[in-house]
Structures are given as structure tokens and as C-alpha cells.
Amino acid sequence: MEIEHNKYPVLKIQCGIPQGSILGPLLYLIYVNDIAKSSNKIIVSFVDDPSLYLSDSNIENLFSNANIQLNKL
């Protein structure tokens, strides 16, 4: 493949879903659909950007709880 007079080798995709594929949107929805079920904490999702909201008066408890919730995700 040549872009602006630079040659790049064509490589096979080893994993993932190619952008623009027919299965991409379906697999994305399957992947994202269960995020809210993975935690009993507040998860807000806007389009493709989920956010996990946590609070605690103790910073060490907050970090510990955040790591637990991220592992669940």
C-alpha cells in the first residue's frame, strides 16, 4: 500500500474487529450491554463512554473500592 509516496506493508489483522465491519455494531452492543449489570454502583453511559461514579470519605477505601469495581468490569 502506498500513501503519499510512502510504502507500507499490508498486514493481516490478528485480533479485534475491523472498523466499518458489518459485525462491529452488533458485537459492540453485546459487549456494552452488560456493563451496568456488572456493578451495583452508579454507572452512567453516554454513547460509547461509560463512567463509574464512586465516593468515600476515606481515600484508601475509595481506591480499594474503585479497583474492585474496575476488576468486575
Please write the tens of the pLDDT for every residue from 21-67: 888 888 888 877 777 777 777 777 776 777 888 889 999 999 999 99
Q: What pLDDT sits at residue 1?
A: 59
Tell me if 54 sits within 8 A of 62, measured CB to CB.
yes
- Pull the grid cell for residue 55: 465516593
Q: How far is CA 3 from CA 8, 18, 37, in A?
A: 8, 20, 44
d(CA 39, CA 55): 14
Phi, psi (deg, nearest 5) at residue 46: -120, 115
Q: What pLDDT sits at residue 2?
A: 61
Q: What pLDDT sits at residue 64?
A: 94
Q: What pLDDT sits at residue 57?
A: 95
